[in-house]
A and B are shown apart, each in its own frame.
Chain A
Amino acid sequence: MKILRAKCREVQKGGREAFGVLVLRYQPKLARYARKFLFHGDDVADLVQDVFIKAYTNIQGFDPSRRFSPWIYRIAHNIFVNALRDSAKDRANFSLFDADVLFPHPVADEKTDDHAKREEMRRMLDAPLGSLDPKYREPLVLYYFEDLDYKTISQILQVPVSTIATRIKRGKLMLGKIIKP
């Protein structure tokens, strides 16, 4: 993490080549995030390239005392959501008004044993993930495939942690119904 922050500082001071290290580190993660979330195989490379171009353009707005990961994932989220909005299939799934974000949810905290089950869940979720609403698909991808915790996902999606927990829970229930109709 310290190396990444140092690289960010280097880029901010004009060290262009240091940005290459950030690309090497995050390209596989962001490409996987895009594939699992968007399900458009063809333009993933272009979309991830757009994420890096936007990240480079805005790197002076990044505070190196904070974690780089939520910052770049946030940029990726915005670009991927725009890509989904542009595709007619998912256009209706992004509403301005979302009851999940509006009201508090009494959801239990993240459990440590969830981490142990992630690999198994990953295998189970992989195939039917595409049939899930993007609103539920995205937190599942970030949690199970990107190994991010609720707090980081909350920072990326800019919604409360309780909303993330609710969406993951509901997403899993929906997938359960898809797997066992």
Chain B
Amino acid sequence: MPCTRHKCVCPIRYKIMDSHSNQGEAKQAEQKMLEAIRSGKAKMQPRWHFVLQAVLFAVGGIIMLLMLLYLASFIMFMLQETGLWFAPDFGAAGWYSILRSLPWALVFLLAVFMIVLAVLVKRYSFVYKRPAVYLFTGIVAVAVVGGFLITRTSFHKSLFYSARHDDLPILGEFYRGFGMERFDDIHRGMIIEITTNGFVIQDDGGQTSTVIAGPRVYFSSGGVSGVGDDVVIFGERSSSGTITAGGIRFIGR
């Protein structure tokens, strides 16, 4: 459309025409928008909607963080209770045992929680301004350090104790299922009797096992002192229930 307002033949004529065309478009858009507002097609959301949204995101983030810490600490607690935590002390075979016996469903759930938490906090400028690798490293560090610190408290111990005594509704089965799981090659228990070629251990469930500790057994922490020691045994259990120890790790008294 020719420019009717500017009759000049200057080099910037087309620029002016362009500018008039833009102004025309903008004016048209303004009229259309105001019409949309008047007709109710465009409706303003109330302020509380955004306040509520921000609060829900913050609360969601906090809940997800707490769930992440709970699950990370539960996995660590469960590994300690079953003895798997100490398996790396027995070398490559110990690591293989960990990989085989890890509760992968819980680890997968933990990864899902981490991703959901990352998505929830990604909207904050202090998060998106930095490379995502920092965010994921931060979340993993919080889960590992926070989870480990929680295992140092009596939180899971008391819940596990209640679960064992059928005194924990809802979570009881969860604790019993994972915390009392027994593996073929890693066994945790307390020495209740010393025998000529080993000792007898009793686990948290009250089940006893005879351990044969031959002369070539590997003591990862300097050996055991006697009855009352809490130990982790690395070795296969035979069909008769006897464990031939390949390695013994003293945990405490």
Contact = CB atoms under 8 A, between A and B. Distances in A.
Contacts of A53: 33, 36, 41-42
A17 interface: yes
B125 A155 contact: yes
A152 interface: no
Interface string B110-133: 000000000000110100111111
Given A23-B26, A27-B26, A61-B45, A162 B131 contact: yes
A170 B26 CA distance: 34
Contacts of B53: 61
A14 to B, nearest CB: 8
A101 B26 contact: no
Contacts of B42: 52-53, 56-57
Interface in B13-38: 22-23, 25-27, 29-30, 32-34, 36-38
A144 interface: no
B128 A159 contact: yes
Contact of A58 (B34, B45, B133): B45
Contact of A16 (B37, B45, B122): B37
Contacts of B216: none
A103 B30 contact: no
B100 interface: no
Nearest to A54: B42
B47 interface: yes
A161 B129 contact: yes
B131 A160 contact: yes
A59 B47 CA distance: 9
B18 to A, nearest CB: 10
Nearest to B129: A160
Given A27-B22, A101-B131, A155-B125, 4 more contacts: A19-B37, A57-B44, A103-B131, A160-B128
Interface of A: 11-12, 16-17, 19-20, 23-24, 27-28, 31, 45, 48-49, 52-53, 56-61, 101-105, 154-155, 158-163
Contacts of B47: 12, 60-61
A34 to B, nearest CB: 12
A12 B33 CA distance: 16
Nearest to B47: A60
B43 interface: yes
A56 B30 CA distance: 12
A60 B45 contact: yes
A20 B30 contact: yes
Interface string B131-161: 1111000000000000000000000000000
5 A-B pairs with the lowest CB-CB distances in the bound complex, closest first: A61-B50, A27-B26, A60-B47, A28-B22, A23-B30
A59 B128 contact: no
Contacts of B37: 16, 19, 56
B131 A163 contact: yes
B225 to A, nearest CB: 51
Contacts of B22: 27-28, 31
A177 B42 CA distance: 45
A162 B132 CA distance: 12
B252 interface: no
A96 to B, nearest CB: 10
Contacts of B23: 28
A45 B131 CA distance: 35
B209 to A, nearest CB: 48
Nearest to A162: B131
A27 B50 contact: no
B141 to A, nearest CB: 17
B133 A104 contact: yes
A58 B50 CA distance: 8
Given A16-B38, A23-B33, A27-B26, A101 B46 contact: no
